Structure 1
């Protein structure tokens, strides 16, 4: 009897990371890496072309980025099984990725075997959070009942992150394939939802919640 091999798409802008994941998964008979992408745009395109059983996706990449790619993949393929593998180990990113439609979230610092466990879980229709991420989400839920960032949609969160990093509206529009007017409208909504008026307040809030580094 032949073993069922699940077809995996890797989306990460670092070739070394993709190579490491590929090697890890090829040692495991249940998985086969059938495509690789180095950007959110390419990941979105390849998902539609190859329709893999699951995709392993980074969040912080040049251009569109992983969060927006997840949002667009899910909009077109609602049953897509997407596992985030990110350097961001805080609850804000994990919550937003799940909100966007990801089925699992794992930090890049996790043990290699955990990636296999996570993929096995999501291809079988389950949700997977690494224990550390799950703990952080639980702690945040207890501590931050009034956490304004949780009110943001996945796209609003991504625009908030880019604005807090100091990106200009035009650059964000170009990266996310949106019009400048649309980004400006989002910016207004974000400020209203977060109750902030200035770029300085935005940066402070982003640092406080671990969205950007201080």
Structure 2
């Protein structure tokens, strides 16, 4: 018989929210919190040390975009389940996250019971969408809608996020450890694919599609 999935990692950069999750999860004898992380890189490091079965992730970590983090965790920990637990629906992220194998999607404003239900479902390797996520996801599938963010390469997505957060090309280059010229190339390519003309257009696009919280 397979071992029950009960080891949980919480990854959220807000202490008050982590405390709330600790309270919710700690009230259930079925789960054991094995680590907490305050950033994307921290989540990767803690996962290596703690070997969680399930990681609960906010969409908006301060140092790495959600899809990049999910991709890294999926590659390094292929058997670990993930739950997106966020204050905003992250419409531009949900389909990609689901495609990468994320099984749980819960809004922070949902009743605490929803997070417990999500943990129960993903521990059985089953999908879980809280009500609003379910409505939106089904609508997107039925209507055939696909977010245009999905046409960008991983590096283009990183550049778009960092630019939309107010970083200039030189700062983006430092963050990603690439040249300024490479940043300019990725930025131009992303704007061409998204049919955007100005940086202001790019910022509005990022906010509209929940790529940044600015």
TM-score by structure 2 length? 0.82
SS at match of 2:78: coil
Deviation by residue 1:86-114 (Cα, 9 ceiling, x = unmatched): 12224223223334443222111111111
C-alpha distance 29-47 of structure 1, shift in aligned 2 (>3 A): same
Q: Residues 90-101 of structure 1: matches in 2 within 5 Å?
A: 90-101=90-101
Give the root-mean-square deviation of aligned CA atoms. Answer: 2.8
| Unaligned residue ranges in structure 2 (runs of 5+) | none
Deviation by residue 1:7-27 (Cα, 9 ceiling, x = unmatched): 111111111111111111111
**What is the deviation of 1:54?**
0.5
SS at match of 1:29: coil
Aligned length: 211
Distance in 1, Cα, partners of 2:105 & 2:97? 8
Deviation by residue 1:61-82 (Cα, 9 ceiling, x = unmatched): 2222444222211122222211
Distance in 2, Cα, partners of 1:153 & 1:84? 22
**What is the deviation of 1:34?**
0.9
Instruction: Find the counterpart in structure 2 of residue 102 from structure 1.
Output: 102
Question: Is the deviation greater in 178-187 or in 68-77?
Answer: 178-187
Distance in 1, Cα, partners of 2:172 & 2:98? 22
Q: Residues 154-193 of structure 1: matches in 2 within 5 Å?
A: 156-175=156-175, 177-180=176-179, 182-193=182-193
Distance in 2, Cα, partners of 1:38 & 1:117? 24
Instruction: Find the counterpart in structure 1 of residue 22 from structure 2.
Output: 22
TM-score by structure 1 length? 0.82
Instruction: Find the counterpart in structure 2 of residue 138 from structure 1.
Output: 138
**What is the deviation of 1:187?**
2.1
**What is the deviation of 1:204?**
3.7
Contact 2:59/2:65 (CA < 8 Å) preserved in 1?
A: yes
SS at match of 1:102: coil
Contact 2:5/2:53 (CA < 8 Å) preserved in 1?
A: no
C-alpha distance 107-152 of structure 1, shift in aligned 2 (>3 A): farther
